[in-house]
Structure 1
Amino acid sequence: MLTLVFLGEILHEAGLRGIVKILQDGERKLSAEVIVVNGNGISAGEGISLPDAKELFENGIDIIILGDKALSKPSSRRALQAGFPLLRPINFPANAPGQSAYKLKCSHGELWFLSVCIGSEKFPLGDPANAFDSWMEQETPECPVVLNVHGTDLPLKEALMLRYSDYKVPVHVLGTGIRVPTDDLRLLGGNVFVSDIGSVVAEGTIQGLAPQAWWKRYIERLSVVQVSAISRVKADGIKIVFDDTLRVVSADRLKIFSDVIGA
């Protein structure tokens, strides 16, 4: 058996501190051979720094996947160029730094990991469906594919799953970007689908920010620094169990809480 845990989007420093504590508790809270996380919102909600990426890898994360904030800051671009299994979406411009797909060797074979990002009027990107089609045609994968679809277009996420439901190898579509866990987790023809895994976020906050800080940042458009004490962090995730041939045996939601921490 192979167990994969895919955690939701880490939000802000408190989310990072919480997931590191959960990872350090390891066997008690998060026992899995492969652990993947979406790190799109760590660095003040925008991308990831190289020190933060290193800390996650040192504490047991195997792959970090980014979304629309992958290139928002120079620190994220530097992290992408450091040679770690840190992935940006495949439908970013071809000259974007870093890698967009990664084949992970596991105890029972290999798994492909990659992501696409759903763009918007403010953040236009290449068509995610066409980008994934092109990758599949070029790569013709011989092992299961885990696709992280980052964004808010739920029908597109489901359409990508259905399009490849009869492909020669399983294509598992796991969504992020809404930051709230959806109740549509299902297994269809050996393929796992959920439109949004959720997030790794401090309780009592709005997407990682204290309520007053969120109001100042998004309503009053003021620069804020998160200084509130944090009680504990909630981590949403999906746990997938594979048999020795990498066929899915089960897929279940996870909700894990860190112990009390400070921020």
Structure 2
Amino acid sequence: MCRPPLFIRKFFRVIFVFAVPFWARIWYNNSIRRCDRRLGKEQAMRILAIGDIVGSVTVRYLEKMLWHEREARKIDFVIANGENAAEIRGINFGEAKRLFDAGVDAMTLGNHAFGQRDIVPLLESDPRVIRPANFPAAAPGNGYTVLDLSGWRVLCINVCGRVFMDAFADPFETVEKILAREKGKYDVSVLDIHAEATSEKWAIARAFDGEISVMYGTHTHVTTADEQILPNGSMWQTDLGMSGPTGGVIGTDTASVTNRFRTLLPTRMEVAQGPVAVHGTVFDLSAKRVERVVF
């Protein structure tokens, strides 16, 4: 049998020596990555969730402080509730852009989602801004998004509660449908439950414990001290609290609030005065640790 020329034999020997290990390493790394994803090891990230942002004064404060906080706390992903960023009710295009430039990666809303006129084009053009998913189907925008962030696919969901709130669709069923629709398309999941009743928030958290990586409540503007890891592994806090001026009543001017309580008359609410404090929580998915922060 005729042997190939020497140079051909050397060529294929080089290919075998160098190429096979190279492709073997790629196959091995991809296999490990797939295995890690199944085991949840790709959840090695730190998430900062920021409580309801009140007023443009807080937006300006975040413009000064957020990038520093991200670096100091080694934050990979920032999600904020912008429900009250535009002077108490809703958020507008300008405030949203400033918050994204300041270091926010995703923004959730709430029952005041449509409090500003220019929110509609914003919701329809920017997937980073999501309104509650259990709004009527005809409402503009989306109630969830999957963001690709440095190799992590982060599913962000926003729902409103129904106790002491408007007649929203069932938040349990809404979340179930989203998880089924997006199954296998994300690595980390975050749920903002914008609700009044603590019991309702807890019920939703219990229902999805082990299915969603990070869950927390917003809306009340009062920070709860119950941050914890639930039995099936989800990270949880009942309410993040408020990010805004500390001199009034949960971010609102004291005089306007007390006048409303005393007279029951319609009252124009104004943003409070005083020093700004940002309340949030760091969810460390690799260390399985939840930590409240204020800055």
Shorter-chain TM-score category? 0.7 to 0.9
Alignment TM-score, normalising by the size of structure 1 = 0.85
Counterpart in the other structure of 1:254: 293
Counterpart in the other structure of 2:141: 98
Supply the distance in 2 between the matched residues of 1:64 and 1:122 (Cα, whole angstroms).
21
- RMSD between superposed Cα atoms in Å: 2.4
Supply the distance in 1 between the matched residues of 2:86 and 2:93 (Cα, whole angstroms).
10
The reply on whether 1:49 has 2:88 as its aligned counterpart is: no
Of 124, 128, 136 in structure 1, the residue corresponding to residue 171 of structure 2 is 128
Q: Which residue identity lines up with residue 175 of structure 1 in the other structure?
A: G
- The SS at the match of 1:40 is coil
The reply on whether 1:178 has 2:217 as its aligned counterpart is: no
Between structure 1 and structure 2, the one with the greater Rg is: 2
Of 52, 69, 77 in structure 1, the residue corresponding to residue 112 of structure 2 is 69
- Which has the larger helix fraction? 2
TM superposition shift of 1:30 = 5.5
Counterpart in the other structure of 1:17: 60
Equivalent positions of 1:57-206 (< 5 A) are 57-107=100-150, 109-119=152-162, 123-141=166-184, 142-167=186-211, 170-188=212-230, 189-206=232-249
Supply the distance in 2 between the matched residues of 1:216 and 1:56 (Cα, whole angstroms).
32
Where structure 1 has 5 or more consecutive residues not aligned to the other structure, the ranges are 257-263
- The SS at the match of 2:140 is coil
Bigger relative contact order (CA 8 A; separation at least 6): 1
Alignment TM-score, normalising by the size of structure 2 = 0.76
Over the matched positions of the two proteins, sequence identity in percent amounts to 22
When residues 213 and 30 of structure 1 are mapped into structure 2, their CA distance, relative to the original with a 3 A threshold, is: farther
Of 52, 75, 80 in structure 2, the residue corresponding to residue 37 of structure 1 is 80
Q: More deviation in 193-202 or 203-212?
A: 203-212
Counterpart in the other structure of 1:259: none
Q: Is the 8 A contact 2:210 2:234 kept in 1?
A: no
Supply the distance in 1 between the matched residues of 2:64 and 2:275 (Cα, whole angstroms).
10
Q: Which residue identity lines up with residue 177 of structure 1 in the other structure?
A: H
TM superposition shift of 1:84 = 4.5
TM superposition shift of 1:7 = 0.4
Supply the distance in 2 between the matched residues of 1:88 and 1:211 (Cα, whole angstroms).
29
When residues 165 and 28 of structure 1 are mapped into structure 2, their CA distance, relative to the original with a 3 A threshold, is: closer
Equivalent residues, number:
249
Q: Which residue identity lines up with residue 5 of structure 1 in the other structure?
A: L
